[in-house]
Amino acid sequence: MAGGKERDGALRRPDVRVTFAHALRSEAARLRRSPLLWLHAVLATALGALAGAYFAVTPWDSLLGSDAFFQLLGAGAPLLAGISCGLAADAEQRAGDGANLFGVSSRRSALAAKVAALLALGLAAAAWAATLFCGALALAGRPVPELPAVALAVLGIVAGSACLYAIFLLVALKWGRNASIGLGALGVVGAMALMGGLANGLVTGTFAGALGARMAMAVPFAWPSRLASLPLEASIAAGLGADAQAQELVSAWAAVGLACLVATAVVVAVVLACANRFEGRRGGE
């Protein structure tokens, strides 16, 4: 009872004003001591280095191998989001029953900063994995996708994940880490199924990013993999002189990107509008 009064009193304190900038600085300081930082670093290093080494020495077409690699990064993004949000929510629960998020003057700023910090970790991990992968191919003298296409692929993974991070964090805060991790695992399966399997394009020698693109527009789990794969495939097709196919891929990319942008804007607006009234779990799991 006393803890509840202290928490409610903290919410009403008029002398403490938490802005988004303050909350973001706090998140950055805490992330430096968080196991999430090492989790992202280890996963990105292992995935980028191992996949790069594999496609550097095997006879697979390295450009199609690059497409498969970014499909893997994108398909895995929902699971990484689920794990990150779940562990972050657990840490907040242990640190005073979520007081850092719910015991401040602006839950909106605190929650937005938490999502932004986790998304920034995802961006850094994707960029590092892509750097290691492309570096391994370049050192082996294998063809490497154009840098602008790689940059768009990395940004596509992050843009496609933004909506998921916002939703998964609220799920984890309300129902626990297992709920968000479970949703993330479901997202991996959904993203790969919509592409006909992870290595479908590599094995068949085709561009799998456009496969079921219209259906993917309506499935948020598929957005990171599609927004990563489609610009890369369009660049590869253009380099091969298949201008008509490249244009089709660009059109599919724009359609998925527009659906992602609109849905993400709606989700973010709803989350921010309801953030100050959101209540997380009280007590344990």
**Structure tokens given for 232:** 């890369």
At residue 98, the pLDDT reads 65
At residue 200, the pLDDT reads 66
* Phi, psi angles (nearest 5°) of residue 264: -65, -40
At residue 264, the pLDDT reads 96
Q: What is the mean pLDDT of residues 252-265?
A: 95
pLDDT at 250 over 60: yes
Q: What is the mean pLDDT of residues 178-206?
A: 81
pLDDT at 84 over 60: yes
Condensed to tens digits (0 to 9), the pLDDT of residues 142-165 reads 999 999 999 999 999 999 999 999
Q: What is the mean pLDDT of residues 129-135?
A: 97
pLDDT at 213 over 80: no
User: Which of 163, 150, 154 shows the shortest CA–CA distance to 221?
Assistant: 163
Angle, CA of 219, 225 and 230, to the nearest 5°: 105
At residue 171, the pLDDT reads 93
160, 165, 167, 168 alpha-carbon torsion, rounded to 10°: 130
Q: What amino acid occupies position 167?
A: I
At residue 227, the pLDDT reads 94
Q: How far apart are CA 116 and CA 166, in angstroms?
A: 9
pLDDT at 104 over 80: no
Q: What is the mean pLDDT of the chain?
A: 86
At residue 204, the pLDDT reads 67
Q: How far apart are CA 266 and CA 219, in angstroms?
A: 15
At residue 102, the pLDDT reads 73
How does residue 274 score in pLDDT terms, banded at 50, 70 and 90? Answer: confident
Condensed to tens digits (0 to 9), the pLDDT of residues 4-47 reads 444 444 444 444 567 888 888 988 888 888 899 999 999 999 99
Confidence (pTM): 0.87
Helices and strands per DSSP (H, E), number in the chain: 12, 0
